[in-house]
A = this chain, B = another copy of it.
Amino acid sequence: MQTIKIGVIGVGTVGTSVVNILKDNADVIEARSGSRIIPTKGVVRSLKKERGLDILLSDNPDDIVNDSEIDIVVELMGGVEEPFKVVKKALENGKAVVTANKALLAYHRYELQDIAKDLAFEYEASVAGGIPIINALRDGLSANHIESMMGILNGTCNYMMSKMMNEGVAFDDILKESQELGYAEADPSFDIGGFDAAHKLLILASIAYGIDAKPEDILIEGIENVTQDDIAFAKEFGYQIKLLGIAKRLDDEVELRVHAALIDENEMLAKIDGVMNGISVVGDKVGETLYYGAGAGGDATASAVVANIIDIARSGKSRPMLGFDRPLEHGLKLKNSDKIESKYYLRLKVSDEVGVLAQISKLFENNNISIATMLQKNSDERHANLLFSTHIAVEKDIQNVIKQIQDLNFVVAKPVMIRIV
């Protein structure tokens, strides 16, 4: 039986789980892969901390990437440029690479694909933790033109939105609770601002569409502005509110966006509660398929890392890293965010004066926006909340009308907009 040696750069929560799974589950891993897979070395930031792992520890990534005995380098350092240098060197030294690092891929996936050439470079754990979505999209659905993808890609946001919907907790309170539970970071902006989900969406978009885009190229918004007023509207009209990563193809253009969204409560995706992740993928032949599971956590994420290691042990590089062996003859382009079409929900806080609704309605009309539903709720004696939903409209027009509404004297707070899917 062949022996395959693993070096883990970054032995934190996930790295420790990788080492443990390779030992705990050595029986099935050997039977399935036909190889003895052994974690031999780890790189940590500080050698002082006791980790209880019987692998050789170092604080220098070179000790792994330059070790001729190591077959597969597992990169779990976090960050972008530093791990890029490290995995580049590993590939140049002829080693296969497995990473869970979505930020690295959001910025460098195409360069890495070029550098890797015939070497395996796998990254299942970078999107939705333990859910084998890369596998499904790259292999399982490869016969399809992907029409759309819609994903709950951030467990922190989904936990928070579920709590707000189901228990009526206010945003700030649930954020604090999430931080105490360890679901949200001390600085939560990367999660709740939508950036984490955006990194994952960009990876999926490469596999589905061959689209090379960076975070700064796409629409990214978070869940910070969602309040109990919006939740009340959602409940009234049969919606859930979720942070979604959305990709949609129309003709030769693909739109990519991350934002809070109102989604029909009967959709499977709307039924995913708590810290779980889920991705709905619609193919032109297969129709809708959906994938659900734990999007984070040491063992779930490590499950995906080890699956990639087993793949490589079985057959080295068995498919193109980003799913395409060569570019599409008629390639797809990223759609400008201004041109996105959607239904929209708007919440305006206004002074309770005569003529307010008429003026706002006029602005909608001037911007080609047609109102579908309207709900007025008095927030106090002098103010009212106006909740609108629109028929399909164009992003640019909505942004315009929001700007114009904001300038009206009787509008007393920044308008809140949530897209409806």
Contact = CB atoms under 8 A, between A and B. Distances in A.
Interface of A: 17, 21, 24-25, 27-34, 124, 130-132, 135-136, 139-145, 210, 268, 271-272, 283-294, 297, 299-300, 302-307, 309-311, 314-315, 318-320, 323-330
A401 B27 CA distance: 41
A130 B286 contact: yes
A334 B240 CA distance: 43
B294 A287 contact: yes
A144 B28 contact: yes
A140 B145 contact: no
Contact of A286 (B139, B141, B144, B300): B300
Given A32-B142, A285-B303, A288-B294, 5 more contacts: A17-B285, A143-B307, A143-B309, A287-B293, A287-B297
Output the residue of A27, A142, A144, A330 with the most chain B CB within 10 A: A142
State the 3 A-B residue pairs at the shortest beta-carbon distance, nearest first: A132-B140, A34-B325, A143-B306
Nearest to A326: B31
A329 B33 CA distance: 13
Contact of A315 (B210, B283, B318): B318
Given A31-B325, A142-B307, A314-B325, A132 B289 contact: yes
Contacts of A32: 142, 320, 323-325
Contact of A135 (B135, B323, B329): B135
Output the residue of A30, A34, A307 with the most chain B CB within 10 A: A307
Q: How many copies does the complex hold?
A: 2
Contact of A299 (B24, B285, B309, B315): B285
Contact of A326 (B34, B303, B309, B319): B34
Given A31-B325, A271-B268, A130 B289 contact: yes
Contacts of A289: 130-132, 291-294
A283 B132 CA distance: 12
A268 to B, nearest CB: 6
Contacts of A29: 142-143
A303 B141 CA distance: 7
Output the residue of A285, A302, A306 with the most chain B CB within 10 A: A285
28 contacts: A25-B285, A27-B329, A27-B330, A30-B326, A31-B324, A31-B325, A31-B327, A32-B324, A33-B325, A124-B140, A132-B135, A132-B140, A132-B289, A136-B140, A136-B291, A140-B304, A140-B307, A142-B306, A143-B304, A143-B305, A143-B307, A268-B272, A286-B294, A286-B299, A286-B303, A288-B292, A288-B294, A289-B291
Contacts of A328: 27-28, 31
A365 to B, nearest CB: 40
Contacts of A285: 17, 21, 24-25, 130, 299-300, 302-303, 306
Contacts of A311: 139, 142, 318-319
Nearest to A138: B32
Nearest to A131: B289
Nearest to A35: B325
A310 B142 contact: yes
A306 B141 CA distance: 9
A310 B140 CA distance: 10
Contacts of A25: 143-145, 284-285
A203 to B, nearest CB: 16
Contact of A310 (B33, B143, B291): B143
Contacts of A305: 143
Contacts of A272: 268
Contacts of A303: 141, 143-144, 283, 285-286
Contact of A136 (B17, B136, B271, B283): B136
Output the residue of A135, A144, A284, A314 with the most chain B CB within 10 A: A144
